[in-house]
Amino acid sequence: MKTVMEPKRTNTTTEQQPRSEKTETKPAALDVKHLNIYYGENHAVKDVSFSIEKNAVTALIGPSGCGKSTFLRSINRMNDLIPGAKSTGEIQYDDVNLIGDDINVVALRKEIGMVFQKPNPFPKSIYNNIVHALKFNGIRSRKKLDGIVEESLRKAALWDEVKDRLHESALSLSGGQQQRLCIARTLAMKPNILLLDEPASALDPISNAKIEDLIMELKKEYTIVIVTHNMHQASRISDKTAFFLNGVLVEYDKTDRIFTNPSKKDTEDYITGRFG
C-alpha cells in the first residue's frame, strides 16, 4: 500500500497548481470546483469552489445544517450511503474527479480516511480494531500486523496507555481513548488525507486537548480537513478556515485572517458569536 502511494505524494508535477493567490505556498491536495450536493429536493451544498492544501489543516466552520459536514462526507463519498444524495461538479484529487461515477469508493476510502464525531470502535479487542481493516487488504503476516498496530497507536498517541492491554475490548476504553483508537484505525490504512467530522466535540476538555495536540502532530504527514463547532479549536489548530452558511462557502482564507480580519460581515458575525 505504502509503496504504491509514495510516488503520488512526492510527484508534484501531476498535481493541480493552486488557482488563487490565497493558496500561495503549498500545493493543493483537493481542488473543489462548482460542487453542488443535493439530498432529494434539499440543495445542501451550493456551487462551492476552493482548494485544500497539502499537509495543512483546513477547518470547516459554520452553523448546524450549513453543509460543512455534507461537503466533508462527499470527499470520501460517504454520502453515497444516504438514499437520494446526488452531487455535481468536481473534487479534483491527483488526476481524478472524486465525484465521478467511475470512482472505486472502497479504494478511495482507504486513501481518504474519516473519523466521526462519536467514537465508534468495533466491539473487538483494541488490537483487532486496527488489524481488522488491514486484513481486508490482505495483510496477514503477524509480524507486519504487530508492527502496523504499534506504529498507528504511537501516531495516535495512544500506545503508552494501551500497550499492556491490546487484547482487551476496545469498548473498555474511555471516550477520548476510543476516539484516538478510531484515529489510529484510520491511520493504519496509511491514508493521504484525513477527514475529521467534529472529532472532539463529544469529549471532555482534557481528551479534547489531546486530540488537538494529535492533529498538530499529524499534519506534518497528512492533509487534514476538520469540521468543528468550536471556534477556539479552529483558530488553534488550522492553517486555513472555510466558513459555510446555508450551503454556500462564504469565505475561505488563512485562519488568522478569518479570525482577526474577516472580509465578510456574515463571517464576522459568526465568529464573534452574534448568530449560529
Partner 1 sequence: MDNKTMTMAASQRLLKKSNKSALQKEKRGKYLVLASALLIITATIAITIFLGTKGLQAFISNGVSLYEFLTSTKWNPTAENPLYGAVPFILGSFAVTILSALIAAPLGIGGAIFMTEIAPSWGKKILQPVIELLVGIPSVVYGFIGLSVLVPFLRDTVGGQGFSLLAGMIVLSIMILPTVTSIATDAMSSLPKGLRESSYAIGATRWQTIWRVLVPAAMPTLLTAIVLGMARAFGEALAVQMVIGNVRSLPSAITDPSATLTTIITLNMGHTTFGSVENNVLWSLALILLVMSFIFILLIRYLSSRRQF
Q: Which residues bind partner 1 (CB under 8 A)?
A: 76, 78, 81, 83, 106-110, 113-116, 118, 120, 122-124, 132-133, 136-137, 171, 182, 185-186, 189
What does the H/E/C string look like for 167-224?
Answer: CCEHHHCCHHHHHHHHHHHHHCCCCCEEEEECCCCCCCHHHHHHHHHHHHHHCCCCEE
Of 17 and 172, CB closest to partner 1: 172
Of 103 and 209, CB closest to partner 1: 103
Smallest separation (angstroms) from partner 1 to the CB of 46: 25
Of 5 and 108, CB closest to partner 1: 108
Query: Is beta strand 240-245 parallel, antiparallel or unpaired with respect to 57-61?
Result: parallel
Contacts for 49 with CB less than 8 Å, ≥ 6 apart: 32, 33, 34, 35, 249
Smallest separation (angstroms) from partner 1 to the CB of 110: 4
Smallest separation (angstroms) from partner 1 to the CB of 133: 4
Smallest separation (angstroms) from partner 1 to the CB of 186: 6
Does residue 90 come out as left (phi exceeding 0), alpha (psi in the -120 to 50 range) or beta? beta
Of 133 and 209, CB closest to partner 1: 133
Smallest separation (angstroms) from partner 1 to the CB of 257: 32
Q: Which residues pair with 87 in a beta bridge?
A: 37
Of 68 and 240, CB closest to partner 1: 68
